[in-house]
């Protein structure tokens, strides 16, 4: 008979034991720092909140509010403020004034069909679903769009009242599926008798207006509200308020919040970045069992975020750009800290050919190099070479090892044997 191992050797008990018995030292509730957390107080956004509220207020008298278009960079509180006003509006509405808000994230729900079906789903009454007088349930795919639109109208008419449709990240919807959805939704009121619809579009990107039919644009932007970036003192206030719920007492060095705020303000006044910095700083401190989060942890957190976003950016690059980057890595491994576009092109041609890819012209490679520079993956400068004219030189800031790691993970490249193309291979093939 075999005996059970002692508890310390039983991995299902031992591995997590220390986490269970360990008292929370840094965080009280880390969730408070997540983007999805909905704070009840939103400092420095009262003017915007009041403006949205005053535009939506007529819906409480069963009148149609103006449509609103809201702009602002990421992390300026657009989603948080609209959700806040929406839930206040719903709680202020009563039997005589039925106001409902549906919030659609168009980054995820990005076709006309899915937007319409999601709205219908969100306003469905649970009792109706189980009753015999069940309205046809719109499936998430499969019907002709006209039928979905008609059924949505029937549902709206059956319930009456005012429906506020928030199309968050509306630019993603327009770029993916054009402006048909908006065209139909902005006209829906003329087909409705017993109910009314108001649309709030939220966009991170101002230029998306150019993609809209002028009629759609003028109807959608009856009111426009801009969310400006936060400055460092404003970000401090936002972080202070969130930190109270998130951290144990006396665990934050006094410099931590101002530093997170200052770094995020340098970026573009992004509350999301500020919250990430604070949360990751706390996590790093916790991981090293520190008593306190210090400015040192914030700097480490900043470096981690930068590396992570660089990796994310590189992993989504097209294959050819990755090959160009890989050629630069090879040059660096051959001992060159700086390389010219001519050298990159030479190595690139060999690598691309060996990978059985189309070999791009030098002109195209120069374009890709400029793009990589714009993305901040490499640095470039133009130097004069006397009578040889001007040439571009480039170099990595740091961490080409990380970049290499990401590129060699690309299945389209590894499958072709990229790993064998190392500096010895270059030396041999190109007689470098
Ligand atoms: N004024 C504010 N007060 C408190 N938290 C805020 C404020 N503005 C933004 N946030 C928080 O910052 C994060 C990003 O805000 P969000 O509304 O998603 O920005 P956007 O939609 O503009 O990209 C969320 O966690 C949100 O709660
Ligand atoms: Mg948002």
Q: What is the CATH number of the domain that holds 328?
A: 1.10.10.10
Ligand closest to Cα of 169 equals: 2
> If we measure between CA atoms, which residue out of 77, 379, 101 comes closest to residue 237?
77
Look at residues 171, 194, 226 and tell me which one is the last residue of a structural domain: 226
- Return per-residue pLDDT of the chain as tens, 432 residues: 555 555 555 556 678 776 666 666 899 999 999 998 988 899 999 999 999 999 999 999 999 999 999 999 999 999 999 999 999 999 999 766 789 999 999 999 999 999 999 999 998 865 555 454 556 678 888 889 899 999 999 999 998 999 999 999 999 999 998 999 999 999 999 999 999 999 999 999 888 888 899 999 999 999 999 999 999 999 999 999 999 999 999 999 999 999 999 999 998 899 999 999 999 999 999 999 899 999 999 999 999 998 888 888 999 999 999 999 999 999 999 999 999 999 999 999 999 999 999 999 999 999 999 999 988 889 999 998 888 788 899 999 777 888 898 898 888 887 777 888 888 888 888 877
202 C-alpha vs ligand 2 centroid, how far in Å? Answer: 7
Rounded distance from Cα 246 to ligand 2 centre (Å): 22
Rounded Cα distance, 119 and 194, in Å = 17
Q: How many CA atoms does the CB half-sphere of 388 hold within 13 Å? A: 8
Can you spell out the DSSP letters for 150-178? HHHHHHHHHH-EEEEEEEETHHHHHHHHT
pLDDT of residue 44: 96
Do 282 and 337 lie in one domain? The reply is no
Q: Give me the pLDDT at residue 95, please.
A: 66
**45 Cα nearest atom in ligand 1:** 1
- Compute, in angstroms, the gap from residue 34 CA to the centroid of ligand 1: 10
CATH number, position 295 = 1.10.8.60
What are the b/e assignments for 89-109, b being 16+ CB within 10 Å? Answer: beeebeeebbbbbbbbbbeeb
Report the separation in Å between the CA atom of 186 and the middle of ligand 2, taken as the mean of its atom positions.
22
Task: Please name the residue that has the structure tokens 């306003």.
Answer: 123
Domain membership of residue 107 as a residue range:
46-226
Residues 222 and 260 in one domain: no
Between CA 371 and CA 351 the distance in angstroms is 20
Predicted model pTM: 0.80
- Residues lining ligand 1, CB < 6 A? 35, 37, 39, 42-45, 72, 74-80, 238, 271-272, 275
Q: Do 82 and 124 fall within a single domain?
A: yes
Round to whole Å and give the CA distance between 222 and 65. Answer: 10
Whether residues 202 and 108 fall in one domain: yes
Does 97 share its domain with 118? yes
Q: Determine how β-strand 223-226 pairs with β-strand 68-71.
A: parallel
194 in the same domain as 78: yes
Domain boundary among 265, 296, 313: 313
Please name which ligand lies nearest the alpha carbon of 244: 1
The number of the ligand 1 atom at minimal distance from the alpha carbon of 271 is 12
Q: Whole-angstrom Cα distance, residue 26 to residue 283?
A: 8
pLDDT at 22: 63
Residue 305 forms part of a structural domain: yes
b/e for 356-385, b at 16 or more Cβ within 10 A?
ebebbeeeebbebbeebeeeebbeeeeeee
Q: What is the largest CA-CA distance in the chain?
A: 87
Phi-psi region of 64 (alpha: psi -120 to 50; beta: other; left: phi over 0): beta
Tokens of 206: 């101002």
Q: How far is it, in rounded angstroms, from Cα 389 to Cα 386?
A: 6
Residues 277/264, Cβ–Cβ less than 8 Å: yes
**Which of the ligands is closest to the CA of residue 172?**
2
Q: Give pLDDT, residue 376.
A: 85
Examine residue 24 and state whether it is found in any structural domain, yes or no: no
Which of 81, 167, 239, 272 to mutate to test ligand 1, by most ligand atoms within 8 A of the CB atom? 272
- Block residue for tokens 């294959």: 319
Helices (H), 93-228: 112-123, 126-130, 145-159, 170-177, 180-187, 214-220
**In what helix (H) or strand (E) does residue 196 lie, and over which residues does it extend?**
strand 195-203
Q: Whose CA is nearest to atom 20 of ligand 1?
A: 75
């Amino acid at each position: 008979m075999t005996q059970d191992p002692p508890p310390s050797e039983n991995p299902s008990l031992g591995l997590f034991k220390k986490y269970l018995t360990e008292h929370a030292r840094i965080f009280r509730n880390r969730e408070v720092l997540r983007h999805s957390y909905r704070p009840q107080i939103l400092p420095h956004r009262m003017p915007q909140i009041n403006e949205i509220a005053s535009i939506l207020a007529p819906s409480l008298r069963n009148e149609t509010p103006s449509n609103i278009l809201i702009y602002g960079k990421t992390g300026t509180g657009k989603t948080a403020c609209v959700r806040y006003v929406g839930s206040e509006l719903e709680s202020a509405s009563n039997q005589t004034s039925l106001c409902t808000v549906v919030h659609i994230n168009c980054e995820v729900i990005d076709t006309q069909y899915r937007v319409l079906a999601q709205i219908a789903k969100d306003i469905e009454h649970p009792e109706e679903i189980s009753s015999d007088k069940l309205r046809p349930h719109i499936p998430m795919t499969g019907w002709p769009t006209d039928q979905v639109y008609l059924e949505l109208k029937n549902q709206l008419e059956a319930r009456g009242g005012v429906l506020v449709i928030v199309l968050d990240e509306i630019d993603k919807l327009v770029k993916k599926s054009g402006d048909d959805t908006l065209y139909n939704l902005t006209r829906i009121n003329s087909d409705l008798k017993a109910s009314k619809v108001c649309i709030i579009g939220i966009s991170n990107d101002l230029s998306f207006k150019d993609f809209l039919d002028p009629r759609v644009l003028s109807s959608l932007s009856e009111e426009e509200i801009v969310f400006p970036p936060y400055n460092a003192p404003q970000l401090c206030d936002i972080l202070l308020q969130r930190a109270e719920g998130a951290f144990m007492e006396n665990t934050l060095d006094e410099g931590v919040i101002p530093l997170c705020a200052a770094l995020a303000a340098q970026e573009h006044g992004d509350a999301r970045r500020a919250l990430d910095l604070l949360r990751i700083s706390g996590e790093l401190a916790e991981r090293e069992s520190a008593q306190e989060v210090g400015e040192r942890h914030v700097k480490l957190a900043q470096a981690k975020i930068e590396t992570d976003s660089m990796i994310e950016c590189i992993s989504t690059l097209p294959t050819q750009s990755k090959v160009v980057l890989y050629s630069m890595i090879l040059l660096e491994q051959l001992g060159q800290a700086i390389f010219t576009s001519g050298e990159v092109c030479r190595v690139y041609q060999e690598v691309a050919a060996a990978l059985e890819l189309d070999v791009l012209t030098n002109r195209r490679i120069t374009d890709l190099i400029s793009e990589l520079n714009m993305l901040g993956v490499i640095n470039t400068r133009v130097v004069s070479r006397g009578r040889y004219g001007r040439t571009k030189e480039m170099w990595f800031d740091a961490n080409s090892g990380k970049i290499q790691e990401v590129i060699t993970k690309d299945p389209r490249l590894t499958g072709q044997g990229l790993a064998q193309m190392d500096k010895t291979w270059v030396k041999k093939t190109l007689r470098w």
